[in-house]
Chains A and B, each alone.
Chain A
Amino acid sequence: RKEVEQDPGPFNVPEGATVAFNCTYSNSASQSFFWYRQDCRKEPKLLMSVYSSGNEDGRFTAQLNRASQYISLLIRDSKLSDSATYLCAVGAFSGGYNKLIFGAGTRLAVHP
């Protein structure tokens, strides 16, 4: 099983649609969870940290289910500018040091 798995995509949605991304992780000891956005040939940019209680930032909502080892990202009222690849990242914290394990990403294309 891959350490971090995401929906392969791509997702093609019209403007205004709601789209959901899913991510599962294999290491039950993982302690930190993130969604990054990556535009073509650019660096990952932090979108949201994900907490057990769930968190919302405008049109974006992230959820974490530790029991199922599952993370989700919901984008409401999608905009053309949301078109990008969305990366799930899990912090592997061991021995006092942290590294991010990324999923392969899910590409989103929002069309008019």
Chain B
Amino acid sequence: EPEVTQTPSHQVTQMGQEVILRCVPISNHLYFYWYRQILGQKVEFLVSFYNNEISEKSEIFDDQFSVERPDGSNFTLKIRSTKLEDSAMYFCASSTRLAGSETQYFGPGTRLLVL
């Protein structure tokens, strides 16, 4: 069964450093998402991406965040200057279509720890 994959599984970084989280969505999916989950809290939407542009972003997704699809398979989330509060699990998700009943499939996540 096709899966969303993410690398790295864990990332430890110093505050102020840039990190890039990588995702390979399911191959025939066209819509991509990033979510995050701070330890002990709920899963929160960050951004959705379609046709090489951001379609929606949350208040969390400020100027420090950016997303890119640099080639036909990868989808990346960059945090330019990490803060302590960016420590969380980051999940990538993908789906086949937009209509109300489309299903999003999640990758295994990258656990980011900012020291």
Interface residues in chain A, defined as those with a beta carbon under 8 Å from any beta carbon in chain B? 31-32, 34, 38, 41-46, 49, 51, 87, 89, 91, 93, 95-105
Contacts and interface: CB of A to CB of B under 8 A. Distances in A.
Interface string B19-50: 00000000000010101000001111100101
Interface string B44-67: 110010100001101000000000
Main secondary structure of the interface of B (DSSP, over half): strand
Given A42-B109, A43-B106, A32 B44 contact: no
Contacts of B45: 99-101
Contact of B98 (A34, A51, A93): A93
B100 A104 contact: no
Contacts of B50: 97
Interface residues of B, number: 29
Interface of B: 31, 33, 35, 41-45, 48, 50, 55-56, 58, 89, 91, 93, 95, 98, 100-109, 111
